[in-house]
C-alpha cells in the first residue's frame, strides 16, 4: 500500500467538508453555485465550461515577506500569468507536534484571499512532502524522534502524524476551492509522484494533479518548467539564458499545452530553511540562503529580461491588454555599520536553557527541548572531558559540520570529508567541545529519511568512545537573540574570541527601503536583524549578499547581530543590488 492511496482517503474528507462549508463560504452566496470547475475530460482543460489554458507560475508565500505578497502577485498578473501555484510547508505550520501556526507570514488563507481578489486562480500543493529545496522537503524534524520512522509511506507513525495536520489544513482550504467561489481550481497532494488523473474518481470538487505522465485524449501540461536553478554553497551561481528559456516556453504553448513556471519568483530561504542536495553525491551539499532561482522576477522583486520576454509571449494568449507593470520600489545602500560589541559563544550559554547530560551523544532531534519535540535547526554544542591527546575519529557521525575545540581553543573541523583530527598531547583534564551545525536537511532522494542532525553515533578518541556529554541546544530562536542583547557584551577594543556574537545598530532617518547585506572579510555564520534570522552567509560563496526587505527594518534604530564562526571584519556593509557570485549556465 502506498502513501498516495492514504492521501486519497484523506482527501475524501475534503468532499465532506466541502458540503458542510458551503453555507459559510467567504466568497458570497452569488458565487457558491459554481459547478463547472477545471475539467480534464478532453484534449483541452475547460474552466467554467470554456476552454482554458493554464499559464501558471510558482510563488511560495513562505519565501516572501507578507508585506510583499501583493506586490509579487500583481507583477505576476501583469506578466500574463493566470494561475498561481504554491506549496504548503508542514514544518513551518506545525513546528511542534500539535502546535499549529497559520499566522502572519504563514497566513495561508490570507494568501488565497489575496490571489482571489487579484483574479488569479490557484493550484495548491499542500504536501505533506513538498521537496522545494526546503529543509527536509517540508517535513517536520520531530518525525525523526521515532527511530523507526519511514517518511512518505503508510508507516503508522507517519500517517498518525499527518492525520491531524491534514485535518486542520483541509478545513482551512476547503472554503477556497472553486465550488465554494474560491480560487483553488486544482490540488496536487504529494510531490514527485509520476502520474496524473482527475479527482472525479474521488468525487472531489476540484481537479487533483499528480506528476507527470500524460494520458491519451487528456490535456497536456508541463507542471514544472524550470525557469532557472538553485545554488549550493561552494558552487557557482546557476543561470539559464533568457532566450533559451523563452524558446522552450514558446514551443510548449504552440503545442497547445498548459505550463507552470517553477519558479516565477523564487524569494529567499530565510533563517535555517535551506535544504540539501544529496542524490548521487558522496555527501550532502546545502543550498544557499537565496532562492532567486534566476527566475523571471528576482529575489527582491525586480523585473528581469525573462520577465519582459515572457510578458510579450503571454500577451498573445489574452484577449485583452495585460495590466500595467507595477512601479519598482527603491533600494538603499546604507553606510557601513561598525561593530561595537562582541560576546563569545561560551559567554552566550547563560542565555539558553540548561544543558542536558547524557552518557552518549544524542542527535539534535531527540534532545529533550521544545516541549520534547527536539531541536530542529541551528547548532548544538557537545562537551566532554578528556585526559589525553591523540587521534579523534568521527566515524562519519557528524551531521553536518563540527568545529572542534580543546579548552575553547579551535583545533579543526570534522565533517563528511574530514573524519579525523589529532588532538594535542597532555595528561591534564581538559574540556573537548564540538559545535555541530545542521547545515540543511536533504530535501529529496533515498536519504530523505536519514536526516537526523548533531552527533548521531559514537566519536572515538584513541579508539575509545567518548562518554559523559553535556549538550547545549543553540537553535538561535528570537527569544534567545532578545535575551542575549542584555548580556555583558565586550567592547571591540578587546580582541574577540571565536565563535562569537557581534552586534551593532543601524540608524535609518527616512522610510526604510530594501537593501542587501554584504559581509566581506567575515567567514561563516548567521545574521539577525531586529531579532529576525535573515539567513546564513558563507565566504565559500557563490552568494555574496543577503536580501534584507524594507518591512523588516524600522525608521530609527535597528538592531543587527551576527553569529560568526571564525573571523570578523568589524563592520557590516550594505549594497543596493544583489551579488550571487560567479555564474555558470544550467545544463
Report the catalytic residues.
Answer: 192, 224
Helix (H, G, I), strand (E, B) or coil at 121: strand
Nearest Cα to Cα of residue 391 among 282, 467, 466 = 466
Is 233 within 8 Å of 538 (Cβ atoms)? Answer: yes
β-partners of residue 393 are 420, 460
β-partners of residue 432 are 384, 406
Indicate the length of the chain as a whole number.
587
* Region class of 78: left (phi > 0), else alpha (psi between -120 and 50), else beta: alpha
Strands of the 430-437 sheet, one edge to the other? 356-358, 469-474, 379-386, 430-437, 401-406, 409-415
Is 448 within 8 Å of 422 (Cβ atoms)? Answer: no
Distance in angstroms (rounded) separating the CA atoms of residues 525 and 537 = 6
Distance in angstroms (rounded) separating the CA atoms of residues 466 and 458 = 7
Could you give the dihedral angle defined by the CA atoms of residues 559, 563, 569 and 572, in that order, rounded to the nearest 10 degrees?
A: -30
Distance in angstroms (rounded) separating the CA atoms of residues 351 and 335 = 31
Grid coordinates in use for 442?
536533504
Neighbours of 576 (CB within 10 A): 14
Given the DSSP bridges, would you call strands 50-51 and 46-47 parallel, antiparallel or unpaired?
A: antiparallel
Residues contacting residue 227 through CB under 8 Å, at least 6 positions apart: 240, 245, 261, 262, 263, 264, 293, 294, 295, 296, 306
Helix (H, G, I), strand (E, B) or coil at 126: coil
Is 71 within 8 Å of 326 (Cβ atoms)? Answer: yes
Given the DSSP bridges, would you call strands 379-386 and 500-508 parallel, antiparallel or unpaired?
A: unpaired
Amino acid at each position: 500500500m502506498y502513501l498516495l492511496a492514504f492521501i486519497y482517503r484523506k482527501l475524501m474528507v475534503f468532499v465532506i467538508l466541502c458540503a458542510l462549508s458551503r453555507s459559510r463560504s467567504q466568497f458570497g452566496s452569488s458565487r457558491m453555485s459554481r459547478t463547472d470547475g477545471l475539467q480534464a475530460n478532453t484534449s483541452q482543460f475547460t474552466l467554467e465550461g470554456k476552454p482554458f489554458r493554464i499559464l501558471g507560475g510558482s510563488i511560495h508565500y513562505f519565501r516572501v515577506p507578507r508585506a510583499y505578497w501583493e506586490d509579487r502577485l500583481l507583477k505576476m498578473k501583469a506578466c500574463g500569468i493566470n494561475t498561481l501555484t504554491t506549496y504548503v510547508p508542514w514544518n513551518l505550520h506545525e513546528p511542534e507536534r500539535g502546535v499549529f501556526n497559520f499566522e502572519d507570514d504563514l497566513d495561508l488563507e490570507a494568501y488565497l484571499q489575496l490571489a482571489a481578489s487579484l483574479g488569479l486562480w490557484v493550484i495548491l500543493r499542500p504536501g505533506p512532502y513538498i521537496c522545494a529545496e526546503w529543509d527536509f522537503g517540508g517535513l517536520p524534524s520531530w518525525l525523526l524522534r521515532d527511530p523507526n520512522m519511514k517518511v512518505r509511506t503508510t508507516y503508522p507513525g507517519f500517517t498518525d502524524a499527518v492525520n491531524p495536520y491534514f485535518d486542520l489544513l483541509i478545513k482551512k482550504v476547503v472554503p477556497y476551492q472553486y465550488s465554494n467561489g474560491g480560487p483553488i481550481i486544482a490540488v496536487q497532494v504529494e510531490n514527485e509522484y509520476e502520474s496524473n488523473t482527475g479527482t472525479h474518481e474521488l468525487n472531489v470538487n476540484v481537479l487533483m494533479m499528480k506528476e507527470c505522465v500524460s494520458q491519451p485524449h487528456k490535456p497536456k501540461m508541463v507542471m514544472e518548467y524550470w525557469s532557472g536553478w538553485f545554488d549550493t554553497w561552494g558552487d557557482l551561481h546557476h543561470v539559464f539564458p533568457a532566450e533559451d528559456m523563452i524558446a522552450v516556453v514558446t514551443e510548449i504553448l504552440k503545442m497547445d499545452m498548459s505550463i507552470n513556471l517553477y519558479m516565477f519568483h523564487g524569494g529567499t530561504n530565510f533563517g535555517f530553511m535551506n535544504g540539501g542536495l544529496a542524490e548521487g553525491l558522496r555527501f550532502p551539499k546545502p543550498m544557499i540562503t537565496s532562492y532567486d532561482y534566476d527566475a523571471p522576477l528576482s529575489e527582491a522583486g525586480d523585473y528581469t529580461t525573462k520577465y519582459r520576454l515572457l510578458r510579450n509571449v503571454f500577451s498573445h494568449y489574452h484577449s485583452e491588454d495585460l495590466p500595467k507593470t507595477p512601479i519598482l520600489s527603491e533600494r538603499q545602500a546604507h553606510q557601513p555599520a561598525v561593530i561595537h560589541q562582541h560576546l563569545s559563544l561560551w559567554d552566550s550559554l547563560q542565555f539558553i536553557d540548561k544543558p542536558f547530560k547524557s552518557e552518549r551523544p544524542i542527535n539534535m532531534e531527540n534532545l529533550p527541548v521544545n516541549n520534547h519535540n527536539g531541536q530542529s535547526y541551528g547548532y548544538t554544542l557537545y562537551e566532554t572531558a578528556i585526559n589525553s591527546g591523540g587521534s579523534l575519529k568521527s566515524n562519519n557521525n557528524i551531521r553536518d559540520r563540527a568545529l572542534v575545540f580543546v579548552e575553547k581553543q579551535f583545533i579543526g573541523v570534522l565533517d563528511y570529508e574530514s573524519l579525523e583530527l589529532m588532538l594535542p598531547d597532555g595528561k591534564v583534564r581538559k574540556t573537548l567541545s564540538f559545535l555541530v551545525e545542521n547545515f540543511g536537511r536533504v530535501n529529496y532522494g533515498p536519504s530523505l529519511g536519514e536526516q537526523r542532525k548533531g552527533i548521531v553515533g559514537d566519536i572515538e578518541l584513541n579508539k575509545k568512545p567518548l562518554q559523559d556529554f553535556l549538550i547545549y541546544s543553540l537553535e538561535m530562536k528570537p527569544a534567545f537573540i532578545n535575551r542575549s542583547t542584555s548580556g555583558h557584551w565586550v567592547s571591540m577594543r578587546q580582541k574577540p574570541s571565536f565563535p562569537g556574537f557581534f552586534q551593532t545598530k543601524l540608524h535609518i532617518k527616512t522610510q526604510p527601503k530594501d537593501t542587501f547585506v554584504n559581509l566581506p572579510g567575515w567567514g561563516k555564520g548567521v545574521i539577525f536583524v531586529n531579532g529576525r534570522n535573515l539567513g546564513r552567509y558563507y565566504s565559500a560563496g557563490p552568494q555574496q549578499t543577503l536580501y534584507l526587505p524594507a518591512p523588516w527594518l524600522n525608521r530609527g534604530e535597528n538592531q543587527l547581530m551576527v553569529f560568526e564562526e571564525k573571523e570578523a571584519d568589524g563592520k557590516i556593509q550594505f549594497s543596493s543590488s544583489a551579488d550571487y557570485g560567479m555564474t555558470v549556465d544550467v545544463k
